Amino acid sequence: MVKVIMGLKGSGKTKQLVELVKKAVNEESGDVVCLEKSPKLTFDIPYRARLIYANNYGFGSYEFIKGFISGINAANYDVTHIFIDGLYKMVDDTSIEETESFLNWLEEFGKRENIKFTLTISADVNTATEGMRKYF
């Protein structure tokens, strides 16, 4: 399952994501991971969630993130939910086509590995394709 929270800067996406992380930590039986660009959520995310700072790993492309997520799963089969805050802050190519392709990959990977994904994208909702909207 993939859930996208999309909106312009200041629309409350990160606040909504933080609430969903808290809920996942309290209700899900597996491990919860949260990826963000920098350590701004350190005190907002519950300590039981694994908070990973993308700046520490040189994120930049969707291929890198796919490999990183695959590595998280390979190292810990107990991960049940991965949250990504600010996808467009982590990748160089923010084209709609590449984003849609990445979301489809997450959906397939999540089904195969039994992992849920929730992510925020800072962009106008009106720019989303139908392929992206199915994840809203």
The tens digit of pLDDT for each residue in 81-116 reads 999 999 999 999 999 999 999 999 999 999 999 999
Let me know how long the chain is: 136
CA 106 to CA 118: how far, in whole Å?
10
What pLDDT was estimated at residue 96? 94
pTM of the model: 0.96
CA 38 to CA 43: how far, in whole Å?
12
Q: What tokens appear for 114 in the block?
A: 């039994």
What phi and psi, each to the nearest 5 degrees, are found at residue 101? Answer: -60, -40
Is residue 57 a contact partner of residue 42, using CB atoms and an 8 Å limit? Answer: no
- Asked if the structure places residue 56 within a domain, the reply is yes
What pLDDT was estimated at residue 133? 97
- Asked if the structure places residue 136 within a domain, the reply is no
- Asked if the structure places residue 24 within a domain, the reply is yes
CATH number at residue 99: 3.40.50.300
What pLDDT was estimated at residue 50? 97
- Asked if the structure places residue 132 within a domain, the reply is no
Domain hosting 64: range is: 2-125
Closest by alpha carbon to 1, among 26, 19, 20?
20
What pLDDT was estimated at residue 85? 97
- Asked if the structure places residue 134 within a domain, the reply is no
The count of domains in the chain is 1
- Asked if the structure places residue 102 within a domain, the reply is yes
- Asked if the structure places residue 22 within a domain, the reply is yes
What pLDDT was estimated at residue 107? 98
- Asked if the structure places residue 15 within a domain, the reply is yes
Closest by alpha carbon to 54, among 78, 101, 86?
86
Mean pLDDT per 10-residue section of the chain, whose length is 136 residues:
97 97 97 94 95 94 97 97 97 95 98 98 96 97
